[in-house]
Amino acid sequence: MSEVNKVVLAYSGGLDTSVILKWLQDTYACEVVTFTADIGQGEELEPARQKAEKFGIKQIYIDDLREEFVRDFVFPMFRANAIYEGEYLLGTSIARPLIAKRQIEIARETGADTVSHGATGKGNDQVRFELGYYALEPGIKVIAPWREWDLTSRERLLAYAEKHGIPVEMKHKNGGSPYSMDANLLHISYEGKVLEDPAREPEEDMWRWTVSPEAAPDAAEYLDVEYGKGDIVALNGQPMSPAQVLTELNRIGGKHGIGRLDLVENRYVGMKSRGCYETPGGTIMMRAHRAIESITLDREVAHLKDDLMARYASLIYTGYWWSPERRALQGLIDDTQQCVNGWVRLKLYKGNVMVVGRDSKTDSLFDPTISTFEDDGGAYQQSDAAGFIRLNALRMRIAARAGRK
């Protein structure tokens, strides 16, 4: 790599990025700017500042990005009903483009020529970060320490930290958490250690946000969710900001054991990976959004969205949030949401989210005078269906007469 003058490091204050901070100073003899994003991980961020100051960092950014994260990244993704490989609600994936965006902004503000991250060379995050960097600042230089250094194990990281006086909090009796975890307002993920055997059930004490369904309340809880143009604007009649909505849904969902997932997924780099996720608020959001769309979206528009959803979800998973194709899809998706207004009533009970009501006073396409099983007063001519069916069967009738099976 060419000479590095100043680098903006995505910095959590944990073991990996604390080692990276010192390693950058030693290896590149460069000035380091630290950037810590508060996207709802629920951790005290001030220790990150203190650690950075200890190593002589003069420019320290600790930014509260929770509202921007939900408003500009989570909500647009949920308008698309995006799910990767049928199960994963993309909690880690959707946070990376925001972090990359803010890193590039800080690089511009501080005159930095380089950015750095703590993602390993085995995972998806390196791709997500770096595609974002290059899309937003084509000439930026990138340092990915895990692809360069020889600190290839936890033991080597700890030895390096001890040698250089880097404080390390031991959160587990065997030396740190037994899992690699990532948290934000949308989810918390767990990988590594015992989870590397996909045949083993996760230990109950692993889960942080949700009670087990067995331990959830014996009484169901009803929740009213109000929508405006495809986004949640109020819960139980109480207007809320995007971050407030997701925070409250996490609380309610966690109480009822909602949102646990044990998944083997296909990483972009080619390997399969087993991870466990807690996404209580997102699980509720997905069910509610599909329910309000069921009465407000035209049939073919809804089916078109479903056709595009897998492609859209894959773009987010593989790091193409800032790509022209994702932006184009977002424009179409957002256009479909102009009439997605109304409310949904949910029943939450022991890990389940059940839709029990939905309505839109202004945009519902549900017409009870037509769909009724009672006398419709001539609103629908049932005899019309005969010709409709015969015309749709025409090509199959022709093929059958030609002897095709």
Out of 12, 16, 231, 287, which one is annotated catalytic? Answer: 16
**CA–CA distance, 28 with 6 (Å, rounded to integer):** 9
Q: Annotated catalytic, 63?
A: no
Q: Annotated catalytic, 96?
A: yes
Query: 23-27 long-range contacts, Cβ below 8 Å, gap at least 24?
Result: 23/145, 23/149, 23/151, 23/160, 24/116, 24/143, 24/145, 25/55, 25/56, 27/148, 27/149
Q: Are strands 141-143 and 31-38 parallel, antiparallel or unpaired?
A: unpaired
Out of 38, 71, 180, 267, which one is annotated catalytic? Answer: 180
Out of 79, 96, 274, 287, which one is annotated catalytic? Answer: 96
Query: Residue 15 to residues 12, 47, 170, 209: CA-CA distances in angstroms?
Result: 9, 12, 10, 23
CB 209 within 8 A of CB 254: yes
Out of 125, 231, 274, 326, which one is annotated catalytic? Answer: 125
Q: Annotated catalytic, 125?
A: yes
Written as one letter, the residue type at 264 is V
CB 341 within 8 A of CB 364: no
Token output for 286: 């997905």
Residue 147 dihedral angles phi and psi, to the nearest 5° = -95, -5
CB 176 within 8 A of CB 154: yes
Q: Are strands 31-38 and 6-10 parallel, antiparallel or unpaired?
A: parallel
Active site residues: 16, 96, 125, 180
